[in-house]
């Protein structure tokens, strides 16, 4: 990564504002997936062990600038405390006199977590005064929130105008891993792309067609490609307004001689329900009263055989409605196949919340080269877009000038 990181800075005794991505799923006050919290630990521990005063900040959900008790960060603080083996103090707000008093009491090696940044509308608005107020709390800014790096918010971009800004260890790892897909990836490079809709992944598909030798499509978005070929898919999700785009993507794949693989059979059901009766049919034989809920066994076998040749694999998006176990086998099989490619020395990168949840659920996360916490940020990175939170970081080798020392 061509940016200064926390390794390059003497943080002893410094107040370090760490923007993490602790936006984890919470159900009735219980965290259902702590992947992002655990991914943030290396940076937090590194700074604490080196004598920094860590001011940790994150958003949670979409409170739209208003306090929402269901989106308070208390469950995150509790889980972080368990993982660190020490209490994690919290503030009642992201800013204010009480926050300043709490921070003034901290000593080197201490940690405090600010309340949900998005309880303040100024955060997403990237308000300059709010950004400056956040910056006034610290001597150094660390961005470790790759999942929010594609947003120019006060805590990801605005704050960098007031403090020296460096990368955390997770940010560094994310950028380095995803860069491997853009700069001469080992070939064959195959991508597995799923999820519900084509419309949200047009740009990443176009970017992948410029780099991949094969793109394997699953999930609801495969239905739109199949419909563009003239197939009737019963009650399945199909984006009728995206048929022209699907045709264009398929034509582009042919022109670039990229193999675009679509399902040949499907698991179907009358409704999305845990007790729904399923059957397997060819994709051109979906009854009018049924819907596609997963790729079928023949498709799984074909995709697995094709991936067996890959030296680089990028996977984003499930192959079906994987949240329901009887519709999850396509997604689970892709996870197992890609894990085997890692064992065969291929570079395997998994991105997107649902794909990450699948590999985590199967205990295969550590069998992948890299599991991204980025979601939308990872897709925009692969599309070649500039990420404000990354661009704002100091370049590698830059001199660090602490503002409070200069005052």
Residue 250, C-beta contacts closer than 8 angstroms, at least 6 positions apart: 225, 228, 229, 260
Phi, psi of 7 (to 5 degrees): -65, -25
The whole-angstrom separation of Cα 233 and Cα 286 is 5
- Placement of tokens 């990354």 in the chain: 390
Query: How many CA atoms lie less than 13 Å away from 339 in the CB half-sphere?
Result: 17
- Tell me which of 219, 353, 375, 389 is the catalytic residue: 353
Pick the catalytic residue: 197, 248, 259, 311?
Answer: 197
Catalytic hit among 14, 15, 19, 36: 36
Residues 6+ apart with CB under 8 A from 18: 43, 44, 47, 54, 55, 56, 57, 142, 144, 168
Among the options 51, 65, 109, 376, which is catalytic? 376
Q: Do residues 228 and 250 make contact, with C-beta atoms less than 8 angstroms apart? A: yes
Q: Is the Cβ–Cβ distance between 51 and 13 less than 8 Å?
A: yes
Q: How far is CA 180 from CA 94, 168, 290, in A?
A: 36, 19, 41
Closest CA to 211 of 252, 262, 263: 252
376 flagged as catalytic: yes
The rounded distance, in Å, linking the Cα atoms of 232 and 405 is 68
Residues with Cβ within 8 Å of 391's Cβ and at least 6 positions away in sequence, in order, are none
| Residues whose CB is less than 8 angstroms from the CB of residue 94 and which lie 6 or more positions away in sequence, other chains included | 57, 114, 115, 116, 117, 119, 120, 123, 134
Which is it for strands 165-167 and 111-113: parallel, antiparallel or unpaired? unpaired
Determine contact, residues 46/86, Cβ cutoff 8 Å. no
Task: Give yes or no: 353 in active site.
Answer: yes
Q: What residues are annotated to the active site?
A: 36, 197, 353, 376
């Amino acid at each position: 990564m061509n940016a200064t990181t926390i390794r390059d800075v003497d943080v002893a005794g410094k107040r370090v504002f760490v923007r993490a991505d602790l936006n984890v799923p919470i159900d009735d006050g219980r965290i259902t997936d702590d992947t992002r919290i655990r991914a943030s630990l290396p940076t937090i521990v590194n700074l604490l062990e080196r004598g920094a005063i860590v001011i940790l900040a994150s958003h949670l959900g979409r409170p739209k600038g208003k306090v929402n008790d269901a989106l308070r960060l208390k469950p995150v603080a509790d889980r972080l405390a368990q993982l660190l083996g020490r209490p994690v103090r919290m503030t009642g707000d992201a800013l204010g006199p009480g926050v300043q008093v709490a921070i003034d009491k901290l000593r080197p090696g201490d940690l405090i977590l600010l309340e949900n940044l998005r309880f303040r509308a100024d955060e997403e608005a990237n308000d300059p005064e709010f950004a400056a107020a956040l910056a006034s709390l610290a001597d150094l800014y660390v961005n470790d929130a790759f999942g929010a790096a594609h947003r120019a918010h006060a805590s990801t971009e605005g704050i960098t105008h007031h403090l020296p800004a460096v990368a955390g260890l997770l940010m560094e790892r994310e950028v380095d891993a995803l860069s491997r897909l853009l700069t001469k990836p080992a070939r064959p490079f195959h991508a597995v792309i799923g999820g519900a809709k084509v419309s949200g992944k047009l740009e990443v598909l176009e970017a992948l067609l410029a780099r991949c030798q094969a793109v394997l499509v699953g999930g609801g978005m495969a239905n739109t490609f199949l419909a563009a070929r003239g197939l009737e898919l019963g009650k399945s999700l199909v984006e009728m307004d995206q048929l022209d785009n699907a045709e264009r993507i398929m034509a582009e794949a042919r022109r670039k001689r990229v193999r675009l693989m679509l399902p040949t059979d499907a698991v179907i059901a009358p409704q999305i329900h845990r007790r729904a009766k399923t059957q397997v049919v060819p994709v051109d034989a979906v009854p009018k009263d049924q819907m596609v809920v997963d790729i079928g066994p023949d498709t799984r076998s074909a995709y697995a055989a094709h991936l067996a040749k890959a030296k680089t694999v990028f996977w984003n998006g499930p192959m079906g409605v994987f949240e329901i176990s009887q519709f999850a086998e396509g997604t689970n099989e892709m996870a197992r196949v890609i894990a085997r490619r890692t064992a065969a020395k291929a570079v395997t990168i998994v991105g997107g919340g649902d794909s990450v949840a699948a590999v985590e659920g199967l205990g295969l996360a550590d069998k992948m080269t890299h599991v991204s916490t980025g979601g939308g940020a990872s897709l925009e990175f692969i599309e070649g877009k500039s990420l404000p939170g990354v661009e704002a970081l100091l370049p590698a080798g830059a001199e660090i000038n602490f503002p409070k020392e200069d005052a």
